[in-house]
Structure 1
Amino acid sequence: MRLTRRNFLASAASAAVLAPTARVLGANDDIRVGVVGLRGRGAAHVRAFGKMDGVRVAALCEVDEAILDQRAKEFEEPFGKMTKYQDIRKLLEDPSIDALCIATPNHWHALATIWGCQAGKDVYVEKPVAFDLWEGRQMINAARKHDRIVQVGTQRRSDEQLREWLPRLRDGELGKVKRVRVIHFSNRKSIGPPVASGKPPASVNHDLWSGPAPLGPITRQNYHYDWHWFWDTGNGELGNNGPHSLDLARWVIGADAFPKGVVSIGGRYGWNDSGETPNTHVVYYDYEPAPILIEVRNLPTPKEQLPSGVKVGMVVECEHGSYAGMHKGTIFDEKGKVVQKINGDGGRGHQANFINAMRSRKSGDLNCDIEQGHLSTGLCHLGNISHRVGAAASPEQIKEHVQGGSFTAEAYERMLGHLQENKALPQGTTITQGLQLSFDPATERFVGSDAETANRLLRREYRKPYVVPEQV
């Protein structure tokens, strides 16, 4: 059956499997890539793939025609002629395209990946892997069923220094890992009050941009980026940047499954804007052998208060020392003396690793296969769900609730001090105490007394015809 736009629409509605259109690659054939989503990350991917020997960026896809035309003009001179598409379904009809690189907003990641796999394309997909937890598992199912190479853009997995150092850390070079504190302190500003009757730019196909998400009113002033801070389309700062550092934390403790529990504390403070997601967030993950806790802040933190000087990264506390940093960091002994500096490159070879795995046809050659990306992104979903099913409480009530001297209690005290220093905790301000949730890693479902409420947020409601299918 020839893959057409009508086939795509029928598949989205009825969950029929799409017929592949990919060609069979010869050993010396150029790999032809189509990049979907052309703002910051997408443009970076065009440059990365475009400079590789044996690779051609042959197609560009973007729902904003103004950006599409701008990028085509920018990139065709150095990299050659590229076919332009506004609709990904048209791109997937092209049998000459071997791979997709997906850098769309989060709510499109899963459907674009699954459609790509069904159409016989390999896929490089940006983090967060999926908009919700169920979608991530469906992406894995599609990759396995259709024998596709699917790499996730948590690129530090391809940093050679980290690939050498983190397994040593995990295996006990500094003694047993006791706990991992993940930090993401990135200053942001208010996105402004709600817009009464916001409209998309005239160059945007808003139906295509929305895809699986509802066609609700547009209340944000900045159409293109601030979708991150609304629950219908984004996953907040935790989902936006958390996957990178949480991925390294999982790597350090050797966690190849989800934790058995999660709890969060936080909210959105100091801005009084239209955003919905937390800008201050603490999430605890109940892992064995060592727990992971992430602290997210979008309000300013003084340099002298950064843990071991880390603004973005992690502090791994071990029996006989610690590691503080991201791909660049410092190894300390148990007395706090500097032992060694790690100076990684952040994973510049990540796209090349994807291309190499495409040629070998071995998903095991990937440095960050879709399943690893699902686990790291999924941690963000678990933290957000705890927050969303939580309840407002006074700072004093939460202090009584968290156990004194615990990992979470320490982080909560730091959070309170941070909000007070930013004058973001006036009298009467409440904080969302997320539910302490139990989770079954085998079924990827919440269990226990609050499971029914929490499980409703594992999977979104889809807007036809942009439906992630049950059968991929």
Structure 2
Amino acid sequence: MKPIPRRSFLGSSMAAGLALGAPRLMMGAEPRSVGPNEAVRVAVIGLGATNAVGGVGGRGHQLIGRLREISGARIVALCDVDQAHLDREVKAASDHEGKVAAHTDLRRVFDDKNIDAVVIALPNHWHALATIWACQAGKDVYVEKPFSYDLWEGRQMVAAARKHGRMVQVGTQNRSSTLLRRVFDRLKGGELGAMRYAHALVYRARNGIGSVDAPTSPPSTVDYDLWCGPASNKPLMRKQLHYDWHWVWDTGNGEIGNNGIHVIDICRWALGQNQTPPRAMSIGGRFGFNDSGETANTQVALLDYRPAPLICEIRNVSVAKGADPMGRFRGQNKGVVIDCEEGYFAGDASGGAIFDRQGKKIEDIADGDSPKAMEIAHLSGFVAAVRSRQTSDLAAEALQGHLSAACCHMANVSHRLGKQASPEAIRATITGDGELADAFDRCSEALRKNGVELDATPATLGPWVTLDAKQGRFVGDFADAANELSRREYRKPFVVPEITGG
């Protein structure tokens, strides 16, 4: 990836100063130059709940472990709005880093001139404001996926990186896979002919998050107002504050933004698409859980790239017995299938295979990358970029993060604007696209095997939504409603600023 000129991306803008409550270190702050023998001083913001039901062990907690394996980085500060999480990691740090600064308010991290870079593993609704404040304070940023909470925020994040000359990397660590890079170079070289379709697969069983009849109390160790930040400070209407924010529209982006983002990013990389799709549509719903969650747990999204579109399939419902209760597509229940004129690749960063058009295996692709190795490589690239000031050291620079997140946002906007429709009505609508119709039929069959009949519990058929990439706004049918879903109302002082002069 070539370095991206600072003034090459956006023509949007930002107010001359920071909003009330922003960090005291004002925009334009000059960062310290990191010497060749000095460690990059890192703060980790958002440590995560290691014991949350349904969670994966706390993303910030995991990244701390990876950072400790990078010789060029040194953790000097930790931050979490939950005092219990902060105490846990500060205690662990005493065995590794010794004494570290500890904060419950991320603004104090940005005030600290002794911090060079931040790793942000906060809930999605905080990604933009934390990233922009960090850039304004002269700090480089590694921000977890999805890059942004909505389309508008993603554009401001990229503009902030450009305006302030910061290194900003998103945590889609598959971009650091050496195996996928080799495979995609071969496919782009025409080894299997022109690409026809890219399929992104997430067949991952989940449980519902339960339901409540009245508001519940956040943990006593949490500053709930600060946790809400840019989101509305509503009563907590679910059993668990941590992790389950993924499944509520006010703070999360559903499974497509949680795990779908990884495979969508891989597919976009394979297709060589460095732009948003011109339009998108979604078919899906929240089936079987009967819980407090709002986002889709089953979704087929078509991102209409040309000449080769991208289909993302999300399946979380699994109650059937036996092997592969949610089904497979060309032998895969995760990863990607890159379909070409003369064959296809099926696999992920750990490995896969190349097949001919009839599904006969031509070649095994082995010796893949472990998740740990990719995460270390991805963070190492970020640390290298902090030193070199070259975006070419970043495998997933800010713009790449924005484009992949935009795919998820477009699909979710279509879903949220959709209406329930019978299977027959859905098939009649999509009959002109054989790949999409096949994906819907396979999804319907997987749901049926798991006790969900779409005749009785209809799926939501979303409309086509069309995006003007230059403006970063939806146009055409449903534009007003789509744009309303693409930029939220903020609570002072947690206002994401509009950036100019990037």
CA distance in 2, matches of 1:426, 1:376: 30
Shift of 1:309: 2.6
Shift of 1:343: 3.2
Task: Please tell me the residue identity of whatever aligns with 2:221.
Answer: S
- Residues 340-419 of structure 1: pairs in structure 2 closer than 5 A: 340-345=364-369, 346=371, 347-348=374-375, 349-403=377-431, 406-419=434-447
What percent identity do the matched residue pairs reach?
Answer: 47
Q: Check 1:395–1:189 CA distance in 2 against 1; reply closer, same or farther (3 A cut).
A: same
Question: Is 2:443 the partner of 1:421?
Answer: no
Task: Please tell me the residue identity of whatever aligns with 1:28.
Answer: N
Task: Please tell me the residue identity of whatever aligns with 1:466.
Answer: F
Maintained 8 Å contact 1:214/1:462: yes
CA distance in 2, matches of 1:120, 1:404: 51
Which segment drifts farther, 181-190 or 429-438?
429-438
Which segment drifts farther, 303-312 or 50-59?
303-312
Shift of 1:404: 5.3
Maintained 8 Å contact 1:333/1:339: no
Q: What whole-Å deviation, never above 9, does each CA across 1:395-439 have from its counterpart, x for those lacking one?
A: 222222221562211111112111211112275322111011222
Question: Is 2:491 the partner of 1:463?
Answer: yes
CA distance in 2, matches of 1:8, 1:35: 23
Count of residue pairs brought into register by the alignment: 465
CA distance in 2, matches of 1:467, 1:226: 24
Q: What whole-Å deviation, never above 9, does each CA across 1:265-310 have from its counterpart, x for those lacking one?
A: 0100011111100000000011112010011000128528312332
Corresponding residue number in structure 2 for 1:3: none
- SS of alignment partner, residue 140 of structure 1: helix
Question: Is 2:58 the partner of 1:36?
Answer: no
- Larger helix fraction of residues: 1
Shift of 1:243: 1.3
* Structure 2 residues without counterparts, runs of 5 or longer: 1-16, 49-57
Maintained 8 Å contact 1:323/1:330: yes
Question: Is 2:464 the partner of 1:436?
Answer: yes
Question: Is 2:277 the partner of 1:244?
Answer: no
Maintained 8 Å contact 1:269/1:425: no
Corresponding residue number in structure 2 for 1:271: 289
Maintained 8 Å contact 2:423/2:454: no
Q: CA RMSD in A?
A: 1.9
Shift of 1:74: 1.6
* Structure 1 residues without counterparts, runs of 5 or longer: 1-6
Question: Is 2:246 the partner of 1:228?
Answer: yes
- Residues 46-61 of structure 1: pairs in structure 2 closer than 5 A: 46-61=64-79
Question: Is 2:32 the partner of 1:23?
Answer: yes
CA distance in 2, matches of 1:150, 1:71: 24
Which segment drifts farther, 93-102 or 306-315?
306-315
CA distance in 2, matches of 1:180, 1:451: 27
Q: What whole-Å deviation, never above 9, does each CA across 1:365-419 have from its counterpart, x for those lacking one?
A: 2111010011011100000000001112222222222215622111111121112
Maintained 8 Å contact 1:262/1:438: yes
- SS of alignment partner, residue 216 of structure 1: coil
Shift of 1:27: 2.1
Task: Please tell me the residue identity of whatever aligns with 2:107.
Answer: R
| 2:102 aligns with one of 74, 79, 84 | 84
Corresponding residue number in structure 2 for 1:10: 20
Corresponding residue number in structure 1 for 2:352: 329
Shift of 1:28: 1.7
Shift of 1:12: 5.0
Shift of 1:443: 1.9
Corresponding residue number in structure 1 for 2:12: none
Maintained 8 Å contact 1:102/1:124: yes
TM value normalised by structure 2 = 0.89
Question: Is 2:346 the partner of 1:311?
Answer: no
Q: Check 1:31–1:267 CA distance in 2 against 1; reply closer, same or farther (3 A cut).
A: same
Maintained 8 Å contact 2:72/2:383: no
TM value normalised by structure 1 = 0.94
- SS of alignment partner, residue 466 of structure 1: coil
Shift of 1:104: 0.5
Corresponding residue number in structure 1 for 2:53: none
Q: What whole-Å deviation, never above 9, does each CA across 1:31-64 have from its counterpart, x for those lacking one?
A: 1000001021111111111222132100000000
